[in-house]
Amino acid sequence: MSESASATSGRPERARSASEEKDVKKRGFFGRIVLFFRQVIAELKKVVRPTRSELMTYFVVVLAFVLAIGVIVGLLDLGFGQLVLWVFG
């Protein structure tokens, strides 16, 4: 990840001058930590949260999928259990 502020703005990065290169490389341990958190906050500001209706739609879709997979796995378990009882009786 680039250490410049323009990397978080979504715009292409401009070429850095020699003094800017030295500034980036001079950052100490805590300076890099602060830069990291600034970039995290900038990225979180870009997040688009779903509306209430979208959230309910996603919830219903996930719930239906989990129930369907649960039924399929349950039926397979029942079938293999009966097969094992029939073979090894």
| Domain boundaries along the sequence of the chain | 5-45, 51-89
- Among residues of the chain, what percentage have pLDDT more than 90? 66
Contact 63, 56 (CB under 8 A): no
Q: How far is CA 83 from CA 36, 69, 72, 74, in A?
A: 57, 21, 16, 14
List b or e across 8-44, with b for residues whose CB sees 16 or more CB atoms inside 10 angstroms.
beeeeeeeeeeeeeeeeeeeeeeeeeebeeebeeeee
The residues of the chain scoring below 70 in pLDDT are 1-25
> What pLDDT was estimated at residue 87?
95
Q: What is the pLDDT of residues 1-17, one digit of tens each?
A: 555 555 555 666 666 66
